[in-house]
Amino acid sequence: MNIALVFGGCSSEHEISCMSAKTIFEALDPAKYQVTLIFITKEGQWKKVDQVRDYTPEECKDFPTAVVIPSHEADNCLILAEPVVRTHIDVAIPVLHGLGGEDGTIQGLFELAGIPYVGCGVLASAVAMDKITAKKVVHPLGIRQAQYVDVYRHELAAMDQVISRVEEKLSYPVFVKPSNAGSSVGVTRVDRREQLADALQLAAQHDSRILVEETIIGHEVECAVLGNLDVGATRVGEILAADSFYTFDAKYNNPESQTVIADYLPEETIQEIRKDAVRIFKALDGSGLARVDFFVEEKTGAVVFNEINTFPGFTSISMYPTLWIHEGYTIESLVDRLISLAVERKQA
């Protein structure tokens, strides 16, 4: 099978994508898969490279440019320009986190080109990426979520009004986050009014829509789902962040942050999380994979939905593969399964 492994990308999670892609690449059995590596630079150039790693723009110069032709007539083709080489692609794996990769845009390109791809389609990717829209789609399921106020960037010109609107509905501490972003980029915990304006301005640098949420105190837990029509869910993992919350630094730079299998939570709570994860995935029309994140509130024990990630971190120590390994998968068998699901989805 010809696989196009696409990694890097323009989002703030470029480096994480390179690490996730390395894990997936190493799990692809060379006896089964012929792999074409497509690196997307931070500036958005597509390059056919020969190794899975991060490249500087200078290093990229001599690699051929890669082009996907958005036409079914091109026979699932990826063209590697200068000189033009056509490569037939059976399945693309967009190992991209965040904007331009996890948000439905690259999925749309593969749809137009007729190339099957791993993971969620355009709709589920776009809805999951946008936290405000995801909240609205999840709302009718009756699953608890943090109370929130949504704010448009242009409204920040009248900052006092925005602050009043937030304070009418929520009390401090609150979480301020861009509606579209990831890896905690642009996310701030705000303990008092004086910090709110700066937090809103920071979030506004990443998206034109901002979410201000009530703070949920409790366990931060995650559940991995896998499948198309028949969707399976894992046990639940907990994040033990080495910081006041799970910041970018706590996620990727602080070795004291840990993830554990949270079998110590009440079994009823674990089953509720698993059921909710699948319901949320289905409500978004998910396919392939996703990691669905929740809190278990300390005071009440209630399960509170936080967000859903359609291409979760896939490094060897990331929660998504760890949870499936706990279920008896290996990274190799997990990647095989994701590729089969991509083919099955296209056929369906």
Under the rule (CB under 6 A), what is the footprint of ligand ADP? 146, 175, 177, 181-184, 187, 213, 215-216, 220, 241, 245-246, 293, 306-307
CA dihedral (277, 224, 8, 94) positive or negative: negative
What is the rounded CA–CA span in Å between residue 272 and residue 347?
32
Nearer of residues 18 and 241 to ligand ADP, judged by Cβ: 241
**CA 143, CA 129: separation in Å to the nearest integer?**
19
The least CB distance from residue 180 to ligand ADP, in Å, is 9
CA proximity to 216, closest of 130, 128, 135, 296 = 296
CB-side exposure of 147: number of CA atoms within 13 Å? 12
As measured in angstroms, the least distance from the Cβ of 167 to ligand ADP is: 16
Which of 80, 216 has the CB closer to ligand ADP? Answer: 216
Name the amino acid, one letter, at 76: N
Beta carbon nearer to ligand ADP, 45 or 201: 201
Total residue length of the chain: 348
CA 159 to chain centre: 31
Residues forming a β-bridge with 68: 78
Q: Give the Cα separation of 265 and 182 in Å (integer).
A: 27
Among residues 98 and 116, whose Cβ is nearest to ligand ADP? 98
Shortest Cβ 213–ligand ADP spacing (Å): 4
In the complex, minimum distance from the CB of residue 309 to ligand ADP, in angstroms, rounded to a whole number: 7
Shortest distance (Å) from residue 211 CB to ligand ADP: 8
C-beta of 27 vs 319, nearer to ligand ADP: 319
Q: HSE (CB half, 13 Å, CA atoms) of 213?
A: 24
The tokens for 239 are: 């994040």
Count the helix, strand and coil residues of the chain and give each as a percent rounded to the nearest 5.
35, 30, 35
> Nearer to ligand ADP by C-beta: 46 or 248?
248
Instruction: Indicate the residue among 66 and 211 with the shorter CB distance to ligand ADP.
Output: 211
CB of 134 to ligand ADP, least distance (A): 10
**Tokens encoding 229:** 């029509």
Provide the minimum distance between the beta carbon of 206 and ligand ADP in the complex, in angstroms, as a whole number: 10
Q: Which residues contact 300 (CB under 8 A, 6 or more apart)?
A: none
Q: How far is the CB of 24 from ligand ADP (least distance, A)?
A: 20
Going from the C-alpha of 10 to that of each of 6, 126, 176, 271, the distances in angstroms are 12, 16, 23, 37
Q: Which is nearer to ligand ADP, 132 or 141 (CB)?
A: 132
Query: Which class for 255: exposed (0-12), middle (13-18), buried (19 or more C-beta within 10 A)?
Result: exposed
Place of tokens 């690449």: 25
Radius of gyration of the chain measured on its C-alpha atoms: 20
Question: Residue with CB nearest ligand ADP?
Answer: 246
Closer Cβ to ligand ADP, 181 or 331, answer by number: 181
Distance separating alpha carbons of residues 137 and 123, to the nearest angstrom: 12
> Least separation, in Å, of the C-beta of 186 and ligand ADP?
8
